[in-house]
Chains A and B, each alone.
Chain A
Amino acid sequence: MEEKRHIISVLLENESGALSRVAGLFSARGYNIETLTVAPTDDETLSRMTIVTVGSESVVEQITKQLNKLIEVVKVLNLAQRSHIERELMLVKVRATGELRDEVKRLAEIFRGRIIDVTESIYIIELTGEGSKLDAFIDTLKVTEILELVRSGVSGIARGDSSLSISNRISKNS
């Protein structure tokens, strides 16, 4: 079956241990994680997680179901199935000396990156965009030397009306 990239958004209780449950699920069942980001939302009791994974439709369906089974998971949405926006932040420290100082600055501008720290021989560039844009920028930086690079992993959000937020359904036992 064809393997595809999927972006899964998860709304979960902001409790210690919730992240390790998700990470444990992926390792125990042998699913891929390409990137994983997590942070609290505007509602401090909830965290929002974005997981990028690669797998066949059936594997991704299992991932979604298994995530939903975790007690702390409130909602799961596969963004790949709808129109969405994804962004990733990258900070990259590069060698910038001599002629390269201008060249690297120009490249950063082309990619709408910002130079946020400068020394005699070094730039730190901040760049936001889709993963492919970040990849392309890294490729162009071959003109100089990359000293250090950090990427945040993908955050995603659905376009338009659909939103991943809590509904009023609450389970009750008697």
Chain B
Amino acid sequence: MELTGADILVRCLKDEGVKYIFGYPGGAALHIYDALYRQDDVRHILVRHEQGASHAADGYARVTGEPGVVLVTSGPGVTNTITGIATAYMDSIPMVIISGQVPTHLIGDDAFQEVDALGVSRPCVKHNFLVRDVKDLATTIKKAFFIANSGKPGPVVVDVPKDVTANKTEYWYPESVAMRSYNPTIRGHTGQIKKAAKLLLSAKRPIIYTGGGVTTAGGEKELRQLVRRLDYPCTNTLMGLGCYPANDPLFIGMLGMHGTYEANMAMHDCDVMLAVGARFDDRITGDLTKFAPYAKIIHVDIDPASIGKNVGVEIPIVGDAKHVLSDLLKAIEKLDIEPNFEALKAWWNQINSWRSIDCLSYDRQSDKIKPQYVLEKLYEITSGDAFVTSDVGQHQMWAAQFYRFDEPRRWVNSGGLGTMGFGLPAAMGVRLAYPESDVVCVTGEASIIMCIQELSTCKQYDLPIKIINLNNRYMGMVRQWQEFFYDRRYSHSYMDALPNFVDLAKSFGHDGVLVENPADVEDALRETMARKDDLVFMDFITDPTENVFPMIAAGSGHNEMHLSPKAESKDAAPQERELA
């Protein structure tokens, strides 16, 4: 039987196993919306702004590993998703964005709500398609899902002109697609893996540094086996948190600009570094000329272009993190060489002395609410078991430092692009994916405003997210930089006219709680987290002067961190270390 393009599109989504699509209707997408109306297989979540749709689909993808799906109309519909597409692109999140387009005969005529969707999205997609013939529609959708969720995942835009959604053809959804130009490498090179195993076992001061690629590949089990087999220290990037359990003694914390003292010092001093599914970006490496001066580096990544881009490596291995880690473990067993236990013992002693500085310590006696304290308590009360989304800024770093993730796909944040406004819509996607779980959005008063309209979506679909607003009345991270690097000239990092967030939440049909005293934090969190069916907006009035520490300033190396005043007092005089 012949179906219209719109019906075909929706059937494709069903046959692809899509449960939710996040979208907003408009002229060019109306045939598709009509097809959605006539079926019950794919559930559409109506957002309040297309940016929200893209972040919600992204959040869904991050916790499930399945592509998030977005449906929007032409013109402003698709341009509003660009921030969300770029966010997903930078963090390698699989997404399929279907955009309506003006009819093919009007393309290029500056028609109403026409924009070159392929052109505007090209720099921030893994790939994009314009479907000119309804006969190509099903195959194109199949290709879009295949490309989005294989190799290094990423967003794929499919632009569908209105006439294509009206035209008819036979429906047939291909089981697989073959592309001669697209062949991601999954298995690592055996010879390279063997060389890597030898180098790893020869290390005196090893470190294992892993990122989001391990999450993507589902390689956390293999990573844990490898780290424990070798007894080597492990650090995770912001994107890789949870791949190695934060509570395990071999975990030395997050690394990078706001990483722990012990992780950054160990990165600086190491002699062998195994990097897996991480891309040595500037927030990780600091000044490249000062980066890991003694290290021989093994770099495992599915993307050949990530290897050798910023940092030269001894042993490049192209492949999927799970497969390579598993092969590496086997290679180590085969070699029958033991690690250098004596050197390793000295290395751990060194790391533990760095640890003893307690770089995340903060003032617990303050009469103002310390944001770190809120997150510590949140961690305790949720037993570390919640899904945590965040926006971008100080609160994001504190959440990464103080919510100790023991499992991957629990921590949902915009790492690469740093998109404010991400947290709330992402939390919607997470909650839809896990309707029984606690979903918390850690945010700040500046970020939350950027997609606050999605509180309305939460009401419509009954999504009882808990919003932890660390309200310091500043764009905290901007303020922090201005304090450190701009002589305390707080240029436009302060908002004079903030809303009453409790009333705001109530006006959307939710509840809100204002917490102003440190003594009330724990009870308020406990009571709120117990309200399983309600969205509660918790407005914590926090200390506006608090800064995120440790901090590696731009142009500094890993061994040149600013420490908090509290940790600084414990920082012993720099020890003489002999490093070869």
Contact = CB atoms under 8 A, between A and B. Distances in A.
Interface of A: 12-13, 17, 20-21, 24, 28, 58, 61-62, 65-66, 68-69, 71-74, 166, 169-174
Contact of A171 (B127, B175, B179, B309): B179
Contacts of A172: 176-178
Contacts of A69: 303-305
A71 B179 contact: yes
B119 interface: yes
B329 interface: no
B381 interface: no
A20 B176 contact: no
B182 A71 contact: yes
Contact of A20 (B119, B127, B183, B303): B119
A62 B309 contact: yes
Contact of B183 (A17, A61, A171): A171
Interface in B156-180: 175-180
Contacts of B308: 58, 61-62
A170 B303 contact: no
A169 B183 contact: yes
A65 B305 contact: yes
A12 B119 contact: no
Interface residues of B, number: 25
Contacts of B178: 170-172
A173 B150 CA distance: 9
Contacts, number: 55
Interface in B106-142: 118-119, 122-123, 126-127, 130
A170 B309 CA distance: 27
Nearest to B181: A74
Nearest to B303: A69
Contact of A24 (B122, B130, B175): B122
B147 interface: yes
Contact of B176 (A28, A74, A174): A174
B181 A24 contact: no
B528 to A, nearest CB: 44
B181 A12 contact: yes
B76 interface: no
Among A28, A62, A69: residue with most chain B CB under 10 A? A69
Contacts of A61: 308
A71 B147 contact: yes
A65 B123 contact: no
Given A62-B308, A68-B305, A71-B126, 14 more contacts: A17-B118, A24-B123, A28-B123, A58-B308, A62-B305, A62-B309, A69-B303, A169-B183, A170-B183, A171-B182, A171-B183, A172-B176, A173-B150, A173-B176
A74 B305 contact: no
A20 B122 contact: yes
B180 A71 contact: no
Interface string B283-322: 0000000000000000000011100110000000000000
Contacts of B181: 12-13, 71-74
A172 to B, nearest CB: 5
29 contacts: A12-B181, A13-B181, A20-B119, A20-B122, A21-B122, A24-B123, A28-B123, A58-B308, A61-B308, A62-B305, A66-B305, A69-B304, A69-B305, A71-B126, A71-B127, A71-B147, A71-B179, A71-B181, A73-B181, A74-B181, A169-B180, A170-B178, A170-B183, A171-B182, A171-B183, A172-B177, A173-B146, A173-B176, A173-B177
Contacts of B103: none
B218 interface: no
B180 A166 contact: yes
Nearest to B147: A71
Query: Max chain B CB contacts within 10 Å: which of A17, A170, A173?
Result: A173
Nearest to B126: A71
Which of B123, B178, B305 has its CB near the most chain A CB atoms (within 10 A)?
Answer: B305
B184 interface: yes
